[in-house]
Chain A
Amino acid sequence: MPFELIALAPLLPLLATALVAAWHIFGAPGGDAAEARTVRLLSYAMLGSLAVLLAMDARALLYGAPGEIVLGTWFAAGGIQIPVSFMIDALSLPFATLIAVIGYIALKFSANYLHRERGFHRFFIINGLFLTGMLMLVLSGNIVLSFVGWEIVGVSSYLLIGYAFERTVATGSAVRAFVTNRIGDAGFILAIALTLHYFDSFAWSGLGAAAISTGTVSVSLVALGFVVAALAKSAQVPFTPWITRALEGPTPSSAIFYGSLMVHAGVYLILRLEPVLVQAPLLLVLIAVAGLVTALYGWFGGLVQSDVKSALLFGTLTQIGIMFVTIGFGAFDVAAWHMCLHATFRAWQFLSAPSYMHAVKGASVEVPPWLGRSQRWYTAILERFWLERFGDALLTLPMQDLGRDMRLFDERIVSRMLGAPGDSEFSPHRQNRLVRGRGVAGALLEWCAANLYRLEQHLLMGTEGGPTRRTLRALSEYLAVLESMLEQPRYLILLILIIFIAGM
């Protein structure tokens, strides 16, 4: 099997998703048969990707991994050329295979879990989209395609958190998750632009060599954007709050998104960046600190959770924080192992959580005694260290205030300058004049008109026989005489004759 066929891995789930969506759009009958068909289509596609990936694994094991494979150009504009390329190496293959396995299992699990739910097909369409994005993100050979996968993952996560769209909390959490990730995406775009600027290439494989020949400051700048994106996606402090609200989606989606796959995307990105990051030691420190804080945050937060899914989520946060710490100390390989192992067992834990809750019924883990004694600590942990409120106070609210100020500025100043029809237009006592000037231009015009009118009134026309008036009156008398003369036929004929003669 040639390595070029790796393109099939993300393509198969995408095609299956498109097919299911098309079926749905063109009004295929619903019911159990349709559910079975949707599940079959998507899980076969996932099995297909898995088979492709396993074949690649086998071939890579036997003959060695080929590294970057370029298939063609996606689009080009000016000096920017974006290739369709894949990266097949010891980092991408295992994780991609794991994604295919977990994805397949989660799909199968959801088939029963969501049986006869209202949004059954919607769930599977979004899920297929997510798996496509995830595989693309991991397998892509260049930064831009990885970004595409990154964004698709973000959008599908938004859609699944808001799965129960009638619930206000769920949709609020979805928007929060997406916007937080969008901040990370801005970092990603910045990093792409800086990569283009400094390294002049989008390929992952070329980054290492380029980074060595570039100064530390530029390398750190490039890496900073990526690190921000990774911290946002993996919900590290200070981007954590979105993930603790993200469990609104159905359990299988929580499992693969926040338990095992999506939350590791940030770690994967950082691992990909290894050759760049080793040139930027300051950022490694940043990563380690963020990881450490998150690990502590997750551990403390986990102590007071009474719900199994939340407890698992805080556990995930801790583990991912530890991965970041490991990376910060330069042990990239260890972090990669940790990532794959953690993804596996966390997926299993999340998927079995609902059954576990059924079996155990009630009684959650008790809060440790030292925590129970200190009310201050207990409140702080229960409130998740007010991280979300800090975020709101620092970002969301000022943004809205700024928006309000801008609107006031727009209404009070810009609109008035240009002369918008305001409410005063309707009040009758201001309608005493036929036309009112509005805005700077209008006021200027009105002022000119008023002055001209005065000029005309007082200087030209005069009230009782000004100079102009007198001249005009005299002129009109002469004209009246002239006209009466013209009314007589002989003068008229004379005039016509004169005109003819002058014309010749």
Chain B
Amino acid sequence: MPLISILLLTMPLGVALIWWLPRRVPAAFVAAVTCISAFVVAILILSSFDAEMAGFQLIEEAAWLPGLNINYLVGVDGISVLFLPVTALLSLGAVVMSYRNITRFPRIYYSLLLVECGATLGVFCALDTVMFFLFWEISIIPIYFLVSLWGNGERRRLVAKKYMLIMIAGGLPILFGFLLLAQYVSSLGLSSLASPFDLRVLLATPLPESLQLSVFLLLLVGFGVKAPILPLHTWFPLVAADGPAAITALLAGLKLGVYGLIRFALPLAPDVAVDFQWLLLGLGSVAVVYGSLIALVQGNLRTTLAYLGISHVGLVLLGLATFQTAGVQGAVLELVNFPLVAGGLFLITAALRQRVGTTALLSLGGAAKTLPWLATSFLLLGLASLGIPGTSGFPAEFLILLTTLETHTGSGIAALFGVVVGAACLLSVYRRSFFGPIHNPAFHEVDDLRPRERAIALLFVVIVLVVGIYPAVVLDVISTTAALWSQRMGG
């Protein structure tokens, strides 16, 4: 059964249903059902995935533009397969948390949301560079409209415009890099069957060092913008502050940029990547420290979380830059954590914002008293983001820290410093927003998470705890592919 194509079709189908069904069927309901079915399909994909086998699996191929040798080519490997269910889950969370928030044009809102999630799923599955780029660009557009139309804060239009411009600017180097690759491969005069856009062909073709250099730098910049890697990160806190609360969860949780680095930038230019290891390590360590320090002085819960997210991206970068199997496994696990932990934290913040109308730290405080569910789930996910044992954050951060310390002690110590500051930051922010006496009278009348929001929060927390207690279940899926990956990088 072409499971991946079915998965990619669910979201467009959901959009069609939203518009086709009579108006009295709420769009949110249709969107939620769509996300649940996508989740089920993703689980099916995961269960038919063979973790022992390296390389791409469940490949589906069809000619798309035969003249240009561009194909419809999708498949998964140990790195990408785990992102499918968590993406579907996060989308479900975003739909549920939007339910009360969105009163204007719900059909358009949920359609855009589903398009965004569908494009994200496509990015994770595409193995043809042109297809990947297409999904990549599609994933930019809905965010622009979602932020500029449903955002909060006066600057939302400007922020959306900035997001759009930066993302398009980031897309160009990626396109250019892919075209360089395609041009080189087709100039080799391989058999006409091998498409110059096929990732498998590209991986199998050894590239000259000079081409690797240009491809690596182009892709690093292009993907770095979206990751976000310092110093290309400034759009992220802005969108986090002004975007619609549930959508910021998608942006915080789905780290497409880092995925692009793992999938394309590093393995396509392995020799140059090894030469530039200092750059990757440096970017990673600076991001870990810089992000957590800036997070310390933010006045808003959402920007704090955004900067902590930047700090965690730095951690992932460090794990990748070790080129060790364990480090890569930790990095991928951390990336799989992002939708659940960072995304989950943003979703809960969305729920908080919907109740009291603000996420400014000064007007929060005492939320634990009237909102125990909200406060508890925030705390548990927060602990997961600190990498406390028993949560899924622990194996991820532990593996990253351990391999970094072992191979590059300096970067590792910087990361440890960042982790301590991050803990201080998250806990003091938590204290200021959830503990203490209630200042804001709005808190007296609010009600706690509603049953369906509770179900989402509980689901996220339970997955985080289960993976934390028995991480082998996830690490084993990643391990073969990660070993192959690090072998390719000469680690």
- Bound Cα distance from A403 to B417, whole angstroms: 13
A165 touches B421 (CB 8 A): no
Interface window among A32-40, A375-383, A406-414, A467-475 = A406-414
Q: Is the CB of B325 within 8 A of A147?
A: no
- Given contacts A166-B437, A407-B297, A73 and B389 within 8 Å (CB-CB): no
A 415-445 binary contact with B (CB < 8 Å = 1; else 0): 1011111000100000000000000010000
A399 touches B296 (CB 8 A): yes
Contact of A406 among B155, B238, B293, B394 (CB under 8 A): B293
- Residues A171 and B294 in contact, CB atoms below 8 Å apart: no
A74 near B406 with CB under 8 A, answer no
Evaluate whether A175 and B427 lie within 8 angstroms (CB atoms) in the complex, with A165-B368, A166-B366, A183-B420 already known: yes
Stretch at the interface among A189-197, A326-334, A447-455: A189-197
- Kindly state the separation between the CA atoms of A155 and B387 in the bound complex, as whole angstroms: 11
Known: A166-B436, A178-B423. A80 touches B326 (CB 8 A): yes
Q: How far, in angstroms, from A192 to B420 measured CA to CA in the complex? A: 16
Kindly provide the distance from the CB of A425 to the nearest chain B CB, expressed in whole angstroms: 6
Query: Are B395 and A75 interface neighbours, CB within 8 A?
Result: yes
Contact across chains for A175 and B166 when beta carbons are under 8 A apart: no
- Give a binary string over A134-152; 1 marks a CB under 8 Å from any B CB, 0 the rest: 0000000000100110011
Interface mask (B61-95 → A, CB under 8 Å = 1, otherwise 0): 00000000000000000000000000000000000
Q: Which of A193, A399, A417 contacts B412 (CB 8 A)?
A: A193
Judging by beta carbons under 8 Å apart, are A74 and B290 in contact? no
- Within 8 Å of chain A (Cβ to Cβ): is B479? yes
Q: How far is the CA of A178 from the CA of B422 in the complex (A)?
A: 12
Chain A residues with CB below 8 A from B325, complex form: 77-79
Across the interface, name the chain A residue whose C-beta is closest to B225.
A418
Min CB gap A133→B, angstroms: 9
**Residue ID in chain A nearest B417 by CB atoms:** A186
Chain A residues with CB under 8 Å of B419's CB are 182, 186
For residue B398, which residues in chain A have a CB less than 8 angstroms away from its CB? 144, 189
Check if A168 sits within 8 Å of B162, measured CB to CB: no
- Contact for B423 among A144, A182, A197, A415, CB less than 8 A: A182
Minimal beta-carbon separation of B375 from chain A (angstroms) = 9
- Nearest CB of chain B from residue A436's CB, rounded to whole Å: 12
Give the contacts of B362-394 with A (CB-CB under 8 A).
366, 368-369, 383, 388-390, 394
Contacts of B155 in A (CB 8 A): 421, 425
Contacts of B475 in A (CB 8 A): 75-77
A158 at the B interface (CB under 8 A): yes
A403-B297, A404-B297, A419-B162 known; A193+B405 contact, CB < 8 A: yes
Within 8 A of A (CB), among B314-345: 324-330
Q: What B residues does A167 contact at CB under 8 A?
A: 436
A355 CB-CB contact with B under 8 Å:
no
B177 shortest CB reach to chain A, Å: 19
One of B158, B420, B482 near A421 (C-beta < 8 A): B158
Residues of B within 8 A of A76 (CB): 472, 475, 479
B234 touching A168, Cβ below 8 Å: no
Residues of chain B within 8 A (CB-CB) of A189 are 398, 401-402, 405, 416
Judging by beta carbons under 8 Å apart, are A420 and B162 in contact? yes
Q: Are A415 and B234 in contact (CB under 8 A)?
A: yes
Nearest Cβ in chain A — how far from B242, in angstroms? 10
- Whether the Cβ atoms of B330 and A77 lie closer than 8 Å is yes
Contact of B383 among A155, A407, A417 (CB under 8 A): A155
Asked if A168 and B437 sit within 8 Å, CB to CB, the answer is: yes
Min CB distance B173 to A, Å, is: 13
Q: Contact check, A403 vs B294: say whether CB atoms are below 8 A apart.
A: yes
Given the complex of chains A and B, what is the CA–CA distance between A110 and B325 in angstroms? Answer: 48
A166 to chain B, nearest CB (A): 6
Please determine whether A399 and B421 come into contact, CB atoms closer than 8 angstroms.
yes
Q: How far is the CB of B280 from chain A (nearest CB, A)?
A: 18
Which size bracket describes the interface of A in this complex? 35 or more
The reply on B159 being an interface residue by CB < 8 A is yes
**A495 proximal to B (CB < 8 A):** no
Q: Which residues of A contact B231 (CB under 8 A)?
A: 414, 417-418
B207 at the interface (CB under 8 A from A): no
Alpha-carbon separation in the docked complex, A79 to B166 (Å): 40
A25 at interface, CB cutoff 8 A: yes
Which residue on A lies nearest to B366, using beta carbons?
A: A166
The complex places the Cα of A317 from the Cα of B390 at a distance, in Å, of: 30
- Output the residue of B232, B409, B427 with the most chain A CB within 10 A: B427
Query: Counting CB contacts under 8 A, is A402 at the interface?
Result: yes
A482 to B139, CA, bound (A): 49
**B389 touching A151, Cβ below 8 Å:** yes
Cβ of B458 under 8 Å from chain A = yes
In the complex, B471 has a CB within 8 A of chain A? yes
CB < 8 Å neighbour of A400 from B169, B290, B296, B427: B296
Given contacts A77-B479, A148-B390, A414-B231, contact A193 B401 (CB under 8 A): yes
Known pairs A165-B436, A193-B401; A182 contacts B424 (CB<8 A): yes
Chain B 410-438 interface mask (CB, 8 Å, partner A; 1/0): 00110011011101100110010011110
Q: Is the CB of B435 within 8 A of A162?
A: yes
A179 in the interface, Cβ–Cβ < 8 Å?
yes
Chain A neighbourhood of B471, CB < 8 A:
74-75
- The answer to whether A172 has its CB under 8 Å from any CB of chain B is yes
Contacts of A74 in B (CB 8 A): 471-472
Q: Tell me which residues from 294 to 320 in chain B have a Cβ below 8 Å from any Cβ of chain A.
A: 294-298
Interface flag for B149 (CB, 8 Å): no
Q: What is the bound-complex CA distance between A197 and B235, given in angstroms?
A: 40
- B434 / chain A contacts, CB cutoff of 8 Å: 165
**Closest Cβ neighbor of A26 among chain B residues:** B458
A397 to B325, CA, bound (A): 39
Chain B 218-265 residues near chain A, CB threshold 8 A? 230-235, 238
**Measured CA separation A186–B329 after assembly (Å):** 21
B285 on interface, CB distance cutoff 8 Å: no
Nearest Cβ in chain A — how far from B301, in angstroms?
16
Q: Smallest CB–CB gap between B144 and chain A, Å?
A: 14
The contact of B294 among A79, A80, A407, by CB within 8 Å, is A407
Q: Is B108 among interface residues, defined by CB-CB distance under 8 A?
A: no
In the bound complex, do residue A79 and residue B234 qualify as a contact, i.e. CB atoms below 8 Å apart?
no
Chain A residues within 8 Å of B327, by CB: 78
Q: Which B residues are CB-close (under 8 A) to A168?
A: 435-437
Residues of chain B lying within 8 A (CB to CB) of residue A25: 458
Query: Chain A residues with Cβ under 8 A from B424's Cβ?
Result: 175, 179, 182, 399
Nearest A residue (CB) for B390: A152
Answer whether A421 and B162 are a contact pair too, CB < 8 Å, given A165-B436, A441-B169.
yes
Task: Take A73-B472, A80-B399, A420-B238 as given contacts and tell me if A147 and B330 are in contact as well, using a CB distance cutoff of 8 Å.
Answer: no
Whether the pair A75, B472 counts as a contact (CB closer than 8 A) is yes
Are B479 and A166 touching (Cβ within 8 A)?
no
User: For the complex, what is the distance from the CA of A407 to the CA of B436, rounded to whole Å?
Assistant: 27
A152 & B290 in contact (Cβ 8 Å cutoff): no
CB-based nearest B residue for A136: B389
Closest residue of chain B to A18 (Cβ to Cβ) is B465
- Cβ contacts B278-298/A at 8 Å (1 or 0 each): 000000000000100111111
Q: Is the CB of B412 within 8 A of A186?
A: no
Q: Complex formed: what's the CA distance from A79 to B324 in Å?
A: 9
> Do residues B290 and A406 form an inter-chain contact, with CB atoms below 8 A?
yes
How distant is the Cα of A369 from the Cα of B428 in the complex, in angstroms? 42
Looking at B406, B412, B458, B483, the one whose CB has the most chain A CB atoms below 10 A away is B406
Provide the residues of chain A in CB contact with B158, threshold 8 Å.
Answer: 421, 425
In the bound complex, CA of A395 to CA of B398 (Å): 25
In the assembled complex, the Cα of A194 lies from the Cα of B330 at a distance in Å of 18
Report yes or no: A77 in contact with B406, Cβ–Cβ below 8 A: no
Provide the residues of chain A in CB contact with B486, threshold 8 Å: 78
Assess the A166–B435 pair: CB atoms within 8 A.
yes
Q: Could you list some 12 contacts between A and B, CB below 8 A?
A: A77-B399, A78-B325, A78-B328, A148-B394, A175-B431, A194-B405, A197-B405, A403-B294, A414-B230, A414-B231, A421-B238, A425-B155
Beyond A404-B297, A420-B162, 5 additional contacts (C-beta under 8 Å) are A165-B436, A190-B412, A415-B234, A421-B158, A421-B238
- Interchain residue pairs A-B with the least CB separation, the first 8: A78-B325, A78-B326, A193-B405, A421-B158, A403-B296, A148-B389, A403-B297, A171-B435
